[in-house]
């Protein structure tokens, strides 16, 4: 079976380019499972319930997030509205699994595709140069012990390449895919590791590439050049959808192929 992971949607430019491409990519590849990282979908900061609903309408099965998950406070009520066993849309919006105890929402979703394949999606956040997270390696061990599905997709939302590469090796043979997000620049290291886990350090942002990781370049340059604070706004130019297509065996969850996708206007 084929699954598609769409990298961090950034702002309206990101939403628009994903809307333009996701349908034909899924159709051409008979995609059965669509996971989208949506944590920057609302103007670069968080995701609103309405945008989440729009992404589900486009075909997303599960939405993942990261350090920006609480930027739009209305999302807290949305994801808190679903009980743990629910299959409804609010339950399919994940926050990182290894946040501090007492955090609302869930970091894992288990569901079934239209053809009856059980799957799990895990949202995990790194600890190096990031705050508020517990040890992701310890966290994933506990989560995997409880997951029933064989097809398991891990979004590893982390800052540094070394932590991401290490997680790929740690989970090789134990999950279907470890796909990195957060740094917004796609990496060319996609591969299937020897144990059958598809890996990529960063899927890349689905958003405006004529900016600085999604933000208007002049605003970011001003901050670097003067050290003065300023309001960041989402860029618009040169939008691209970055996604990664993983082919795996539905029965074992073992990946056999991984392909990087980047589509512009």
Q: Residues in the chain, how many?
A: 265
Supply the minimum distance, in Å, between the C-beta of residue 1 and Fe ion: 28
Residue 117 or 125: the one with the smaller Cβ distance to Fe ion is 125
Residue 92 or 182: the one with the smaller Cβ distance to Fe ion is 182
Binding site for Fe ion (CB under 5 A): 66-67, 182
CA distance 176 to 192: 9
Please indicate whether residue 21 is annotated as part of the active site. no
Residue 67 or 176: the one with the smaller Cβ distance to Fe ion is 67
Instruction: For residue 227, give every residue at least 6 positions away whose Cβ sits within 8 Å of its Cβ, in sequence order, or none.
Output: none
Looking at residue 168, the DSSP 8-state letter turns out to be H
Catalytic residue among 68, 157, 182, 184: 68
Supply the minimum distance, in Å, between the C-beta of residue 185 and Fe ion: 12
Tell me the angle at which helices 161-171 and 136-146 cross, rounded to the nearest 10 degrees.
Answer: 30
* Sign of CA pseudo-dihedral 135, 164, 36, 255: negative
Cα–Cα distances in Å, from 149 out to 110, 118, 161? 7, 5, 28
Supply the minimum distance, in Å, between the C-beta of residue 173 and Fe ion: 27
Residues designated catalytic: 68
């Amino acid at each position: 079976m084929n699954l598609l992971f769409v990298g961090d949607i950034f702002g309206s430019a990101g939403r628009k380019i994903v809307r333009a491409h996701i349908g034909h990519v899924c159709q051409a590849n008979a995609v059965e499972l669509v996971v989208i990282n949506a944590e920057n979908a609302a103007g670069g900061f968080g995701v609103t319930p309405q945008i989440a609903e729009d992404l589900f309408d486009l075909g997303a099965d599960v939405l993942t997030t990261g350090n920006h998950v609480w930027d739009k406070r209305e999302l807290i009520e949305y994801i808190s509205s679903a009980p743990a066993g629910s299959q409804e849309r609010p339950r399919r919006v994940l926050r990182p699994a290894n946040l501090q105890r007492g955090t609302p929402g869930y970091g894992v979703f288990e569901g079934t595709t239209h053809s009856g394949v059980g799957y799990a999606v895990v949202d995990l956040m790194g600890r190096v140069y990031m705050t508020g997270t517990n040890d992701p390696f310890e966290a994933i061990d506990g989560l995997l012990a409880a997951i029933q599905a064989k097809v398991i997709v891990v979004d590893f939302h982390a800052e540094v390449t070394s932590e991401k590469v290490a997680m790929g090796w740690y989970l090789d043979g134990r999950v279907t895919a470890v796909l990195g997000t957060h740094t917004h620049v796609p990496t060319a290291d996609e591969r299937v590791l020897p144990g059958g886990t598809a890996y990529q350090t960063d899927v890349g942002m689905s958003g405006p590439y004529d900016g600085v990781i999604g933000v208007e370049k002049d605003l970011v340059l001003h901050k670097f050049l003067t050290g003065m604070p300023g309001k960041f706004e989402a860029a618009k130019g040169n939008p691209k959808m970055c996604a990664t297509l993983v082919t795996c065996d539905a029965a074992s969850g073992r990946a056999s192929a991984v392909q990087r996708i980047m589509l512009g206007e």
